[in-house]
Amino acid sequence: MTERSLIKRKQSLNVVKSSQNITNAYTLANVSYAYGDIPALQDVNISLAPGKFYGLVGPNGCGKTTLLDLLVGSREPGAGALLFKGRPLGEYSKRELARQVALVPQDFNIGFDYTVEEVVLMGRHPYIPRFGSPGAKDLALVAKAMATIGISRFAQRYVTELSGGEKQRVVVARALAQDTPILIFDEATASLDVRYTLQIFNEVRNLVQEEGRTVIAVIHNLNLAAAYCDEILFMQEGQILKSGAVADVMTSATISEVFGVESEVRFDPFSQTQQVAYRYWP
């Protein structure tokens, strides 16, 4: 083992030890991942506390979706330590993890004629015994999730008959019905119009503030990220370049470094949030 590898291992062990005293939602220490010989994540070190809304931003191909894949357990780190609530993520069974973490993917494709209600009910599968039937609590959570997202009138329609935006709202409702302490969004509102985007972000923001849920969302719109998130994680070339409170890291200098565009960040009195204005050039 090289000296560099020994240093990284020591750093990972130190993070693991410290996380035993403070139970973060996630702790990543020197986490790396590659697709064959192509690196996607390199030495990612970050601790995500519970009860916050995190925005994950960065240019296309910087590793955002790969990082989410690791957080939901669909991929395993090639190197480093990944802890969930103080335990190695790999120690959780799929059912255990599904009761803790719900994912809203960027793309949702289903080729079978399930009704909207049936798809939302899929969020309750981690709680229903094999060969069992949904109980009153399951059905109540499904009805509540559909009402919250405003799709109750679609309940008996087939998802194959819906528009792309309507399908995406169904997937958000499925995640809410899953009733997990962690919600992960991978560009979950990219296909939605302004009204429904704000509706969903308002709802998940309320879950953070009122119920202490943790939300981790890939967001391309920096103004949405600034308006709703507690902390921003700027990614570049597979690494966390900067992270922290919106007021600290959402700066013109950071945006220029990460995206290569000129901008001005200022407080907007109408929205009562920091907002970003861009200068375009040929």
pLDDT of 49 strictly over 50? yes
Q: Which of 258, 247, 244 is nearest to 48 (CA)?
A: 244
pLDDT digits (tens, 9 = 90+) for 245-256: 999 999 999 999
Of 65 and 23, the one with more pLDDT: 65
Count of CA atoms in the C-beta half-sphere (13 A) of 199 = 16
3-class SS of residue 97 = helix
pLDDT at 109: 76
Rounded to 10 degrees, what is the CA torsion of 154, 156, 160, 162? -10
Binned at pLDDT 50, 70 and 90, residue 12 comes out as very low
Tokens of 163: 């528009």
- Angle at the Cα of 121 (from 116 to 123), degrees rounded to 5? 115
Share of residues in the chain with pLDDT > 90 (%): 82
Tell me how long the chain is. 282
Weakest mean pLDDT among 34-38, 62-66, 190-194, 259-263: 190-194
Number of Cβ within a 10 Å radius of residue 70: 24
* Residue 144 φ then ψ, to 5°: -65, -45
pLDDT digits (tens, 9 = 90+) for 158-209: 999 998 889 999 999 999 999 999 999 998 888 889 999 999 999 999 999 9
pLDDT of 8 strictly over 60? no
Calculate the average pLDDT of the chain: 90
For residue 227, the Cα-to-chain-centroid distance in whole angstroms is 16
In sequence order, the β-bridge partners of residue 185 are 104, 217
Tokens of 65: 């979706």
Alpha-carbon distance values, 118 to 125, 148, 209 (Å) = 11, 17, 29
pLDDT of 7 strictly over 60? no
In whole angstroms, give the CA distance from residue 86 to residue 97: 14
pLDDT at 111: 72
Tokens of 107: 């793309």
DSSP secondary structure letter of residue 125: G
Tokens of 56: 């994950």
Binned at pLDDT 50, 70 and 90, residue 16 comes out as very low
CATH of span 3-100+180-279: 3.40.50.300
pLDDT digits (tens, 9 = 90+) for 73-98: 999 999 999 999 999 999 999 999 99
pLDDT at 22: 52
Where do the structural domains in the chain lie, given as residue ranges?
3-100+180-279, 104-179
DSSP secondary structure letter of residue 158: B
3-class SS of residue 114 = coil
pLDDT of 153 strictly over 60? yes
For residues 50-71, give the mean pLDDT: 96
Q: Which of 225, 196, 230, 246 is nearest to 58 (CA)?
A: 225
Tokens of 18: 């410290």
| Lookup result for tokens 């929205």 | 271
pLDDT of 131 strictly over 60? yes
pLDDT at 9: 44
Residues in Cβ contact with 257 at an 8 Å cutoff, skipping those fewer than 6 apart: 236, 241
pLDDT digits (tens, 9 = 90+) for 94-126: 999 999 999 999 877 777 889 999 999 999 999
- Angle at the Cα of 60 (from 56 to 62), degrees rounded to 5? 65
For residues 142-156, give the mean pLDDT: 95
pLDDT at 202: 95
In whole angstroms, give the CA distance from residue 46 to residue 175: 25
In whole angstroms, give the CA distance from residue 169 to residue 241: 32
Tokens of 102: 């719900």
Q: β-strand 214-218 against 182-186: which pairing, if any?
A: parallel
For residues 48-69, give the mean pLDDT: 96
